Structure 1
């Protein structure tokens, strides 16, 4: 787990709150996007290459090495073969999975 801290001001004053500074930090850390993804039910995410390294041996199209143009396409083939299409979403660089058990 990661703890992300938001610094409320530059003066280190306990009674001062700089809303613009906090808004910038929330944007920079990608917290809003993270909340959107989790609310949609996708609690687990992993880059395509790391996902393939771990699970490629479970699919005839990806073992020992896939011949597809991208890792995303190879990941899609693996997911399709196992029938988990409804439990995942595909991002530009990462695979999002609803439940880690999937």
Structure 2
């Protein structure tokens, strides 16, 4: 008889204390990892969970930003990397 726990693996969230993305604007962070999941806030959209270090502490933040998602996908081979998140008009970007 198969055991459910032998084949069903729940995907755990990334480790770290949660902060809002607005708390990160223009601060130096080190992006460690990210994962994409279905957004609970916006139906049919993707949410990105970003794991990073801020002042040597492991943290996570969530965003629906298509720009940050695209940048993370494009440069995932470069992880970890140092950056800052900047708000330009109505979008966020790594700088």
Smaller-chain TM-score range? Answer: under 0.3
TM-score, with normalisation over the residues of structure 1? 0.21
TM-score, with normalisation over the residues of structure 2? 0.22
- The structure with the largest helix share of the pair is 1
Structure number with greater Rg is: 1
Task: Specify which structure has the bigger relative contact order, considering alpha-carbon pairs within 8 angstroms and separated by 6 or more residues.
Answer: 2
